[in-house]
Amino acid sequence: MTARRIPRKRRGQRHRFFASDGVDEVLSCVLRLTSEVSALSERLYLAERVLESRGIDMADEIEQYQLSEADDAALGAERQRLIETVLAQLGASGNGAESVEDDLSPEP
């Protein structure tokens, strides 16, 4: 997995629009998860088309496939990236928000 050097969380407090604790953050998680599902479904669609064009029945091949150590490592890293992405707004990604001076509020 590529190291993340660019911060993924901005400084300062997130705005809260819903009164119930955590709703905005959960919504953010769901949208990020949906983004990942979307990317994954597109990848799968493309894989099916590529293999189909070469006469390979992918469903059967997948059932027979034996994972190697390298496969395990790659899939594990991808799982970790997915978790960090989905949980980014819950502060679990290791890219925590820094403090910020909070006096830049809208001018009157």
Partner 1 sequence: MCSSSIGVSLCGLWQHTLPRLNCEPCLLLILKHIIKLKNLNGPGPDMSLSHDHDMAVSLTQQDRSRRAFVSTLRSHVLQQMSGDLRQHFEHSVEPEHAKSGAQLETPEAIHEALREEFPFKAYSSVRTAAQEMVFDVVSDAVDRQLEVLNEKATKPATHGTLKLDPLLPLPKNVTGIDVHLSPGGYHTEHAEDDVTAGAVYDNSIDVFAFGQFGKQHNDIGTTLSNYLRLKYPDFSPASILDCGCTIGHNTLPWAETYPTAEVTAIDAAAPVLRYAHARAESMGIAAHFTQMNATAMEFDDAQFDVVFSSMFMHELPLKHIQLYLKEAFRVLKPGGILWQMELPPMNAMPDYENFYMNWDTFYNNEPYYGTFRKQDYKQLLIDAGFRAEDFVEATMPRYTFVGESAFCEAIQDNNTFDTLTGRMDPKGTRWYGFGAWKG
Contact residues: partner 1, CB under 8 A: 2-12, 14-15, 17-18, 20, 22-24, 26-28, 30-46, 85, 88-89, 95, 100-101, 103-108
Kindly tell me which of 69 and 107 has the beta carbon lying closer to partner 1: 107
Selection from 10, 6, 2, 8 nearest residue 85 by Cα: 8
Structure-derived torsion over alpha carbons of residues 59, 34, 72, 1, reported in degrees to the nearest 10: 140
Q: What number of CA atoms fall less than 13 Å from residue 47's CA on the CB side?
A: 11
Kindly tell me which of 36 and 66 has the beta carbon lying closer to partner 1: 36
Taking the complex as a whole, how short is the minimal distance between the CB of residue 49 and partner 1, in angstroms? 12
Taking the complex as a whole, how short is the minimal distance between the CB of residue 69 and partner 1, in angstroms? 23
Kindly tell me which of 34 and 56 has the beta carbon lying closer to partner 1: 34
- What is the spatial distance between Cα 1 and Cα 77, in angstroms, rounded to a whole number? 6
Taking the complex as a whole, how short is the minimal distance between the CB of residue 108 and partner 1, in angstroms? 8
Taking the complex as a whole, how short is the minimal distance between the CB of residue 63 and partner 1, in angstroms? 18
CA torsion through residues 83, 86, 90, 91, sign: positive
